[in-house]
Structures are given as structure tokens and as C-alpha cells.
Amino acid sequence: MFPTLLAVPAVFTLLIAAQSPASLETTPDPEPQRQPSAFATSTPELVAIGAALRAPRSSPTSDASALVVRIAHAGPLALEAAFEVLVQRSVPEARADDASQTLSGPQRALVLQAIALLPITDVRAHLAVRLRATRTDAQAVHLAVVYVLGAVGSANDLQRLAALAPRKSEDADVLTRDARSALTEGAVAILARDPRAWRVIDDVVRTANRSAARCLIEAVGARRDPRALEILYSAVSAHPDLSPLAVASVQRVGPSLDGEVTLQFTSWMASEFAFARKESRQGLLQAIGVLDDGSHAHVLVDALDDEEFEVREAAAWALRKMTGFGYPATPEPWRAWLHDEQRWNDDERAAARAALESSDVAEVVVALRAYAGRRAWRESLALDVALVLERNEPNLQRLACEVLQSMNAYCAIRPMASLLDAPQTAVRDAARRALGSITGLELPQDAQLALEALNLL
């Protein structure tokens, strides 16, 4: 055993001696092997696009808009080259010593903006050619088409986006991660660009499979728009397992301009609350707080006794959101408030409503102020107040608009919209302020344009 152990160091000594300093200095380092280009051939357009996309790394102050123009005008085959960049998801080499580079999100955005500058007929024709061609990279082509249609398409392209988004090979009903991103981004862009898309996307969501529907629901909920709530409500019946996602989106999109849709969605959520899991219960309570006119305040107040702290906090948040009051997360003050609302509604509302039709202006003013302090059943109460809008008395019309604004009543949108072209400036301004406050829209001074923005034409 001992001779063998002693021989080991000798072996290492011989190896070290064999590698003299001279031999170490004269042995050249192996040259790093360059990765082959992702592009089959290089063209002047690819070189120009590659130079534009690589410019920000060498010159961080590069003007993005100028780079977009450079890509769009890279040459007569700029469209074909730009699309191939999206397919390969790689940045072309602009110089011989350029390293391979994966196309980043910001770089892809530049390419898409450049394609959007090109004639739409040429873009659509090229997409049709690429889709017809039989290729081994069909999924990559489909993904690129989805990105491009998202950048240049219209409402009529939403169905195609959902159909073309690539699926996982092991599960034909599940989109790939990149496809989910492309479909969501594309749908968001089309909804922002084409108002007609809000009418189309409802049918696309209902007929899409779960994976694509999830992306479209996320797109609908990506921005505050009163048209979105109807789509979300439709989605909960078409895709019940995606209802938590639709409910979570309520806080972003807010109520619908159609008060009936808001009421139906809120009633559905209130009915679901008793059977929901803790995580879903929190979301339901918060969404109810955003949408409810106080008709379901009892659900929120009862939830303040829930055994889960997070549920109690969500109920308190919802009540504060709904009422504007800052009571603590304990049931006693909220029960007292709700009891007072119920008492007024049962005992005093009838007299107040009758006073709104009085010929005595002072009596009408007192009644309006009584309505202004109410926080429960606001939509129903607002129908009473809206009767004053029909009176040919500018001061009362103006005051009624202010009361309806304080009530945040969506059912009053149409009655108040009729005052946008009232003869009196004060009445027009009061109606426009109230409508803007309730809907969250920046309404133009022109009555026709304002009605168009409210989707009332």
C-alpha cells in the first residue's frame, strides 16, 4: 500500500514538469466559435435592420422614432426582412464581428412600429403569403403574424389572433408562453385602436378555448373602460373557471355605462360569495365595493364578522369604497349606518319623492339635498332625482346634476346626456361635469362628440 501512495505525487511532478513555461506561452488559445446566423442569407435590408436594432447598445441616446423609420426604409424588401426578424426572433448581424443576439421585447416593439408604417395592403398580402407557405417553422410564422396583426389589425382580426396563436405540442388547447403574450398584447392594442373591437371581442371570448379566453379577458381588463364590464360578465358564464380572473379585473375597468349590466354582475357576485373560497371571497367583496350602489351592502356588513382577517379587511375596504365613509373594520358602525339607510328608504323616501314634483322650488331643493346624502340603493334613488331633469327650471336641473354626481348613479347617464345641448351654459356644464365624474371619461365640449364618447349615438 505505501509504495503506491508515494508514487502518486511523482506522477503529478512529471506532468507539471512536462508543461514548461515556454510550452504554456506558445500554445495559442482556441478561437471562440461564432454561432451561426439565424438567417439563411444576409440581405442589405437585414443588415440595415440589424444596425438599427443594435444602435441603442452603442449609442444609448438613439432616437427610437428615428430607428423605426430606418427599419421601415431599410430597402425595397424591408417588410420581408422585418417579418423574418420576428420569425427568427434574432437580431441580424450588421458587421462581420457582430455576436448573435436574441430579439428583445423593446427591439420587437421597434420592428412592429416600423411594419405599422408600411402600407397595410402590402403587410396583409405578405402575411397571407407566409401563412400559405408550408414550412417547418410554422409555429414561429404564426407567432409573428399574431404580433403583426396586433400592431396593424382591426376588430375583424381578433378571431384570427385567437386561432393563430401557437399551441403547445403536448396539449393542443394550451397556448405557448410567447403566444399568450402576443395574443394579450395584440388584443390590448386593437381594443385601443378600433372602437368596434369592443363589440366583436365578446363573441371571440365566448367561443375561444380556455387558454385563449384567459388572454382576451386579461386584455379586456387591462384598462379602465366602461365597455369592458359587459365582456367580463359574459365571460363568467362562458368560462366559469375563469370567473376569478374576470372578478379581479372589475377593480380596473369599473362599472358599465349600462346600469343593468352592472346590477346583474353585482347580484351574481353577491350570490357566489357564500360558496366561494377565501381567496375568491376577498376578490368578490372588493369587486362588489367597486360596482354596488348599496343594494348589497348587507353582504359586505355581514362579512365583517367573517373568521378570516383578510375577508374582514376586504369587506371594510369595499364598504369604504362604496360609501366614501371611513368607519373601522368592525360591524357596529356599519350596521348602524345601514339601519339608518333602510329606515329612510322605508319611512321618508315616498315623501321626498313627492316633494321633487312640488311647484315650490324651495321644497324641491330640500328634497334634493336629502337624496344627496344617501349611499344605499343609489341607482333606484337616482331614478327619482332624474325626474327633476325634465323640469324646465335651469337652477333645479343644475342642482339635480350635482346630486346625481354625488350619488355616482349610472342610470342617470342618459337623462343627463339630454342636457348636454341645453340652452343654459350652467346646465350644460353641470351635466358634463357630472357625466365625466361618473364615467371617468374626459368629455368634449361639443354635445355630439360627448354623446359619441358616451356611446349613446
Residue 318 belongs to domain with CATH number? 1.25.10
Query: Does any domain span residue 87?
Result: yes
pLDDT at 27 over 60: no
403 shares its domain with 306: no
**Mean pLDDT (whole number) for 325-334:** 95
Query: Residue 11 — pLDDT band, cuts 50, 70, 90?
Result: very low
pLDDT at 149 over 90: yes
Q: Are 357 and 241 in contact (CB under 8 A)?
A: no
Higher pLDDT among residues 444 and 223, named by residue: 444
Residue 295 is assigned to a structural domain of this protein: yes
pLDDT in tens, 154-180: 999 999 999 999 999 767 789 999 999
Residue 380 confidence class, pLDDT cut points 50, 70, 90 = very high
**Same domain (yes/no): 303, 365:** no
Sign of CA dihedral 319, 320, 325, 327: positive
Query: What pLDDT is attached to residue 17?
Result: 40
Q: How many folded domains does the chain comprise?
A: 3
The pLDDT of residue 113 is 97
Q: How far is CA 73 from CA 204, 335, 427, in A?
A: 36, 68, 53
The Cα 344–Cα 338 span in angstroms is 10
The mean per-residue pLDDT over the stretch 332-356 comes to: 96
Last residue of one domain, picked from the residues 320, 341, 362: 341
Residue 446, CA atoms < 13 Å, CB-side half-sphere: 4
Tell me which of 307, 323, 341 is where a domain ends: 341
334 and 356 part of one domain: no
What's the pLDDT tens digit per position in 242-277? 999 999 999 999 988 888 899 999 999 999 998 998
From first CA to last CA, the distance across the chain in angstroms is 100
Grid cell locating 449: 362628440
More confident residue, 349 or 223: 349
Structural domain contains residue 113: yes
Give the residue, 30 or 344, on which the prediction is more confident: 344
pLDDT of residue 258: 83
Q: Looking at the structure, do residues 332 and 375 belong to the same domain, yes or no?
A: no
pTM of whole model > 0.85? no
- Residue 384 and residue 316 share a domain: no
Range of the domain at 62: 49-117
Residues 363 and 443 in one domain: yes
Specify the pLDDT at position 10: 40
- The confidence score (pLDDT) of residue 452 equals 87
When pLDDT is averaged across residues 13-23 and rounded to a whole number, the result is: 40
441 pLDDT tier (thresholds 50, 70, 90): confident
Residues with Cβ within 8 Å of 78's Cβ and at least 6 positions away in sequence, in order, are 45, 48, 49, 71, 72, 114, 118
Is residue 20 predicted with pLDDT exceeding 60?
no
Q: How confident is the model at residue 151 (pLDDT cuts 50, 70, 90)?
A: very high
Mean pLDDT computed over every residue of the chain: 89
- Give me the mean pLDDT over the 396-417 stretch: 93
Looking at the fold, whether 324 and 363 belong to one and the same domain comes out as: no
Residue 30 binned pLDDT confidence (cut-offs 50, 70, 90): low
- Using H for helix, E for strand and C for coil, what is the string for 161-208? HHHHCCEECCEEEEECHHHHHHHHHHHHHHHHHCCCHHHHHHHHHHHC
The packing angle between helices 361-372 and 378-386, to 10°, is: 160
Q: Which residue has the higher pLDDT, 218 or 57?
A: 218
* 148 in a structural domain: no
Average pLDDT over residues 16-36: 48
Q: In the structure, what pLDDT confidence band is assigned to residue 22 with cuts at 50, 70 and 90? A: very low
Q: Is the pLDDT of residue 104 over 60?
A: yes
Tell me what the mean pLDDT of segment 278-288 comes to.
93
Does pLDDT of 32 surpass 70? no
If one compares 223 and 44, the residue with the highest pLDDT of the two is 44
Could you report the per-residue pLDDT of 119-142, keeping only the tens digit for each?
Answer: 999 999 999 999 998 677 899 999
In the listed set 67, 97, 117, which residue is the last one of a domain according to the structure? 117
Residue 386 banded pLDDT, cuts 50, 70, 90: very high
Shared domain for 279 and 353, answered yes or no, is no
